[in-house]
Amino acid sequence: MGALNGVKILELARVAPAEFCTMLLADMGADVLKLETPPADGQAETPEEKRRAAFAYVNRNKRSLALNLKAPEAQAIFQTLATTADVVVEGFRPGVMKRLGGDYETIRKVNPRVIYCSLSGFGQNGPYKDYPAHDLNYLSLAGVLGLIGEPDRKPAIPLNLVADYGGASLHGALGIVLALFARERTGQGQQVDVAYLDATLSLLGATPNLRFFWSDGLAPRRGAGFLGGSYPYYAVYETKDRKLLSIACTEPWLWENFCKAIGRPEFARYSRVADQFVRAANPEEVRAREEVEAIIRTRTRDEWYEDLVTRDVCVGKVYDVEEVFEDPHIRARQMLVETEHPEIGKVKEVGIAIKLSGTPGAVRGAAPYRGEHTDQVLRELGMKPEEIRELRDRRVVA
């Protein structure tokens, strides 16, 4: 039995971070119903579209209802579903759900216990709330992007992992669980307002960069600081086979272990010290890093890794994606799973990161294609086949 068995969630996501938020809850047993926009041309999903949909990791363990919320009949269906929902999750700009007849104030009137999570770029208030933006823009405004990469180059773009998934998705899922917990005490629902920009700042606040800015007035800069990549103890090195190896020995004793392992114990003096919180490596430290690089180039990546892991050194192989899921530890932790799809066979995807001993999550099924459960859901609402057929003919549902 999953930790969230019996929790009913309506998802109006439109973007992957909001879908990932609800997938985390679906993995733990929640019944997540995706409300998706029917295709504009009214055509059914093609076999290729269905095949690709099954690999949409962020949509696994869910059902899909294709509902045109611009139609009054569809809005009525949504409100009926919302009367018995525990959670509504929407990923639109502020004001859109009100135009679609499904904003928090409207839904709370028919369901005072509802948890209504709004995931938006800038939140439900503030001067930027109506602006369009994506992950890169939130990173820019949060001061995160300017800190990533080498000092003499443009910032490196860290995929869309930070603001989208590490930020909005995880803060949204936690906010929902907290609101559900509060409802157990108060009996009342509430709105969960999560902004991508806020969540990004929250993540940055946990780093040494911001901590020492507030405490000592030390402003961090790109490529500087002990986590910026300029110091020999926290860097990425090229190996003999032109692959990459990461070394992350920020504690002096770990760096000393590394120095002994490469035959340069005297380099232990280049361990992390207090004044490196925001400054870049000085010329002597840069030369030490270059010497370490020359040593690392004498052996292959895997040779170094197999040696260094036995010497209590923080080391990692920089994998290509193809290599990740061959790693024995990844497999031992069940971070590669396979589900059986009734039409296309086995679907591979990433496993569940949160391991609960008593109420573990489960991958119960691959992601649905758009509208796969439309008839099923409408029948559950008491609609007759002819009523469903009429709604489909009028493109209210698909």
Contact assessment for residue 262 and residue 245, using Cβ atoms and an 8 Å cutoff:
no
Q: Domain map of the chain by residue range?
A: 8-203+330-393, 234-318
What are the pLDDT digits (tens) for 192-231?
999 999 999 999 999 988 888 888 888 889 999 999 999 9
What are the pLDDT digits (tens) for 57-81?
999 999 999 999 999 999 999 999 9
Instruction: Kindly write down the DSSP assignment for every residue of 68-93, as one continuous string.
Output: -TTSHHHHHHHHHHHHT-SEEEE-SP
Q: Output the pLDDT for position 14.
A: 85
202 half-sphere exposure, CB direction, 13 A CA radius:
16
Domains 8-203+330-393 and 234-318 share a fold: no
Q: Output the pLDDT for position 215.
A: 86
12-16, 40-44, 132-136, 234-238: range with lowest mean pLDDT: 40-44
Q: Output the pLDDT for position 254.
A: 98
Of 130, 134, 241, 275, catalytic: 134
Q: What's phi and psi for 376, nearest 5 deg?
A: -60, -45
Assign domain 8-203+330-393 to its CATH superfamily. Crotonobetainyl-coa:carnitine coa-transferase; domain 1 (3.40.50.10540)
**pTM score over 0.85:** yes
Q: What percent of the chain has pLDDT over 70?
A: 100
Q: Output the pLDDT for position 237.
A: 98
323 half-sphere exposure, CB direction, 13 A CA radius:
8
Strands (E) located in 173-328: 190-195, 234-238, 244-248, 315-317
Q: Output the pLDDT for position 217.
A: 87
* Dihedral sign of CA atoms 82, 87, 93, 128 in order: positive
**Is 164 in the active site?**
yes
1 or 353, greater pLDDT? 353
Of 27, 31, 135, 164, catalytic: 164
Q: Output the pLDDT for position 124.
A: 98
**Is 275 in the active site?**
no
Strands in 234-238's sheet, in edge-to-edge order, are 234-238, 244-248, 315-317
Mean pLDDT value across the chain: 95
Q: Output the pLDDT for position 275.
A: 85
CA 324 vs. chain centroid, Å, equals 18
What are the pLDDT digits (tens) for 316-329?
999 999 999 999 99
Mean pLDDT of 138-157: 95
- 234-318 is classed CATH 3.30.1540.10: yes
Residue 137 pLDDT greater than 90, yes or no? yes
Residue 125 pLDDT greater than 80, yes or no? yes
